[in-house]
Homo-oligomer: A and B are copies of this chain.
Amino acid sequence: MNTFGRNFRCTTFGESHGLAVGVIVDGCPPNIPLTEVDIQPYLDRRRPGKSPLESGRQEPDRVEILSGVFEGRTTGAPIALVVRNRDVRSEDYDALRDVFRPGHADYTWQAKYGLRDHRGGGRSSGRETLARVAAGAVAMRCLAPYGIAIRGRIIEVHAATDPAAMEAEIRAARDAGDSVGGIVEVTAAGCPAGLGDPVFGKLDAAIAGAMMGIGAVKGVELGEGFGAARLFGSEMNDPITGTGFASNHAGGVLGGISTGQDIVVRLAVKPTPSIRRVQQTVDTAGKEREISVEGRHDPCIAPRVVPVAECMMALVIIDAMLEQAKYRVFAGE
């Protein structure tokens, strides 16, 4: 399943070392101003090779709009966005053709499909998120007139919470041939109340699914999150006053529907599984092997999760807004 969303449907394609990565956005409202210039900055933020703490892969990641836009505006037709892969060094992965990297999808993809594109993780590579970011940029463009602002940031790396300390943790891990995990927080401000459906279309459930679907994410929480397990009801409930909610322990969602407050979500990001340190594994024949994953890898993937998580949030919100629009018309508005 490579499609996300019910109303604003994004279908992504492409492998790390294939010809291209891209996405079809189907269900985008018509008459939205859109050019490559609206999308490129999001791809640039996600792009590797911007700092010594990131993967050294050099990709220009230039997006091309193949369809769905006419004279600078969306037409209602599906929008195809494609980025060609350039800096492909598939030979880096020749040694990995028959061996499963621990912590990656290598073993499970093989178990599922019986064959795999081993080059850079193939379809399971983080490079696929480029397509999500491109689609998210279109969503952001749709949301902009509504004053909805989505911002992500790293709030913790390997238990450090101060920016300088976080960077030090990443450097230390890199120098040790290792990697570290972190926590990302994303906030969506300006959302109207009423987004999300009860029961199986809950906004927080959609967010949780979207975020857990980002590679390396192992946990998702809204508002007080896991901390809610240690609170009394009288502490957790947000009082309501004549001017709105007096607090936001809920993280902007009650009963699966947005309250109109900030939507606040946190993601636990595991350490990058590709490390130089020697690990134990097996090859496709089941023979035990030792592996040291060379190549160009981020020692902490959390920074690069930030723009992806923001874009997934945008996709969830635009989808819920389109869903909600259906009700409004029949209500006589």
For the complex, give the distance between the alpha carbons of A299 and B233 in Å.
9
A91-126 interface bits toward B, Cβ cutoff 8 Å, 1 = contact, 0 = none = 000000000101111111101111111000011100
With a cutoff of 8 Å between Cβ atoms, the chain B residues found around residue A115 in the complex are 30-31, 70, 73, 75
Instruction: Identify 5 new A-B residue pairs, CB closer than 8 A, beyond the known A30-B115, A218-B228, A242-B288.
Output: A1-B26, A24-B24, A183-B229, A208-B213, A215-B256
> At the interface, yes or no: A58 with Cβ under 8 Å from chain B?
no
A254-276 interface bits toward B, Cβ cutoff 8 Å, 1 = contact, 0 = none = 11111110000000111111110
For the complex, give the distance between the alpha carbons of A201 and B4 in Å.
9
Chain B residue nearest to A247 (CB atoms) is: B102
With a cutoff of 8 Å between Cβ atoms, the chain B residues found around residue A202 in the complex are 212-213
With a cutoff of 8 Å between Cβ atoms, the chain B residues found around residue A178 in the complex are 232-234
> At the interface, yes or no: A61 with Cβ under 8 Å from chain B?
no
Which residue, of A6, A73, A200, has the highest number of chain B Cβ atoms within 10 A?
A200
Q: List 15 A-B contacts (CB under 8 A).
A: A2-B26, A12-B200, A13-B26, A13-B77, A18-B66, A21-B67, A70-B117, A82-B82, A103-B236, A105-B257, A221-B268, A226-B268, A233-B275, A322-B326, A329-B329
**Once the chains bind, are B107 and A254 in contact (CB under 8 Å)?**
yes
**Once the chains bind, are A330 and B80 in contact (CB under 8 Å)?**
no
For the complex, give the distance between the alpha carbons of A269 and B259 in Å.
19
**Once the chains bind, are A231 and B271 in contact (CB under 8 Å)?**
yes
With a cutoff of 8 Å between Cβ atoms, the chain B residues found around residue A123 in the complex are 67, 75-78, 198-199
For the complex, give the distance between the alpha carbons of A230 and B211 in Å.
19
Q: Could you tell me which residues of chain A, from 1 to 50, have a CB within 8 Å of some CB in chain B?
A: 1-4, 6-7, 9, 11-15, 18-22, 24, 26-27, 29-32
> At the interface, yes or no: A167 with Cβ under 8 Å from chain B?
no
With a cutoff of 8 Å between Cβ atoms, the chain B residues found around residue A114 in the complex are 30-31, 331
For the complex, give the distance between the alpha carbons of A215 and B213 in Å.
21
Chain B residue nearest to A18 (CB atoms) is: B67
> At the interface, yes or no: A224 with Cβ under 8 Å from chain B?
yes
**Once the chains bind, are A208 and B220 in contact (CB under 8 Å)?**
yes
A296-330 interface bits toward B, Cβ cutoff 8 Å, 1 = contact, 0 = none = 00000010000000000000000001111111111
CB distance from A112 to the nearest CB of B (A): 4
**Once the chains bind, are A82 and B108 in contact (CB under 8 Å)?**
no
For the complex, give the distance between the alpha carbons of A116 and B71 in Å.
10
Set B77, B222, B327: member contacting A15, Cβ < 8 A:
B77
Q: Could you tell me which residues of chain A, from 72 to 90, have a CB within 8 Å of some CB in chain B?
A: 73, 75-80, 82
**Once the chains bind, are B113 and A31 in contact (CB under 8 Å)?**
yes
A271-299 interface bits toward B, Cβ cutoff 8 Å, 1 = contact, 0 = none = 11111010111100011100000000000
**Once the chains bind, are A24 and B11 in contact (CB under 8 Å)?**
yes
**Once the chains bind, are B19 and A66 in contact (CB under 8 Å)?**
yes
